Amino acid sequence: MAPDKSMRWRVLVSAPYAMPVIETYRSRLEAASCEVVVAEVRERLTEEQLLPLVKDIDGAICGDDRFTERVMLAAPRLRVLLKWGTGIAPLDQEGAKCLGVRIYNTPGAFSEPVADTVPGYILLFARQFGQMDRDIREGRWIERQLVASRETTLGAIGVGDCGRAVVRRAVAFGMRVLGMDIVEIPADFSSGLTGLDRKRAVVRW
């Protein structure tokens, strides 16, 4: 598709999680003189899939796409890569630096969804919901030895944005929570977490 001459910038959108809300962001980008180019993607784009898409783009809102130096060299106008999420490992950071392409990410983008999922799995295993569902559907009622949340201890290895969100939910369920991080846990994070250093963690876990 030929670039829209009325737009100043051309932005490729290939982040899968952006697709359900693409029309919301399209209006905002177009208001900023950006033409939006939406890629067909399921999980991520490979280097070979990106090459024919990047020739005329000025920026990209991407997921775990393989933006290698080869891809960036094929995109002479490219100036910005915005990763929808935290990890930027799939992006060639050295290549981007050499070519003057800036890389940004969105810390915390998945903290709340992940934190919602973790206690879901904990309850699934502790209360054996999956097996109980199968038993009932097959006409069986079996008394099981189950675990209550308040009887459990959760260990959080890494207490960043996502870890803290998980801890808050675990405390709300009455769980005892132990946590450690390679950086100091913020003093104002006092939601029932018992902080451990590496030595104490090895002894207690």
Residue ranges matching CATH 3.40.50.720 in the chain: 9-105, 111-204
- Spatial CB neighbours of 8, under 8 Å, sequence gap ≥ 6: 33, 34
149 DSSP assignment: G
CB neighbour list of residue 73: distance below 8 Å, 6 or more residues apart: 99
The tokens describing 123, both together, are 């309850």
Low-confidence spans in the chain with pLDDT less than 50: 201-205
Q: What is the pLDDT of residue 203?
A: 36
Coil, strand or helix: which one is 152?
A: coil
* Per-residue pLDDT, 74: 97
CATH of domain 9-105: 3.40.50.720
Q: What is the DSSP string of 2-27?
A: ---TT-SEEEEE--GGGGGGHHHHHH
Record the tokens describing residue 202, joined without a space: 């090895």
Q: pLDDT of 58-109, one tens digit each?
A: 999 999 999 999 999 999 999 999 999 888 999 999 999 999 999 999 988 8
CATH 3.40.50.300 assigned to domain 111-204? The reply is no
Length of the chain counted residue by residue: 205
Residue 22: partners with Cβ closer than 8 Å, 6 or more residues away: 13, 36, 38
